[in-house]
Amino acid sequence: MAQDSCDGCGRTVSVAGGVANIWTFGEADGSDGTAMTLEFEDGTEHLLCYPCIEALPDEPTAEDVTRLEQVDGETSRLGVL
Ligand SMILES: [Zn+2]
C-alpha cells in the first residue's frame, strides 16, 4: 500500500494497489486504502481521499478538484461546493 497525499485536502492517504496488494479481488471496492484516483474526461488524474470524493458532485470535473484544494483539510467543511 502506497502512502501519498490527497490532491484535494493534502492529507496523507494510503492507496490500495501496488505489489503488496494481493488481498483485493480486482475491484476498486474501497475496502482497502483511504483514497482513490479519479480520472477525468480530459485525461487528468487526481488522487483523492474519500471525504473529498464525497464532497464532489456526481460528475466531478478538474475544476471541482481545484475547489477542494482551496480548503483546509482539517477545518473546512468538505461538503460545501
Ligand atoms: Zn482529501
The residue whose grid cell reads 460528475 is 59
- d(CA 40, ligand 1 centre) in Å: 17
The residue whose grid cell reads 492507496 is 15
- d(CA 42, ligand 1 centre) in Å: 21
**Over the stretch 18-74, which tens digit does the pLDDT of each residue have?**
444 444 444 454 445 688 888 888 888 888 888 888 888 888 888 888 888 775 555
| Euclidean distance between CA atoms 65 and 69, whole angstroms | 6
Give the model's pLDDT for residue 19.
Answer: 43
75 has pLDDT over 80: no
79: nearest Cα among 28, 8, 29, 23: 8
Domain ranges for the chain: 2-69
- d(CA 60, ligand 1 centre) in Å: 14
If you count DSSP H runs as helices and E runs as strands, how many of each does the chain have, helices first? 2, 4
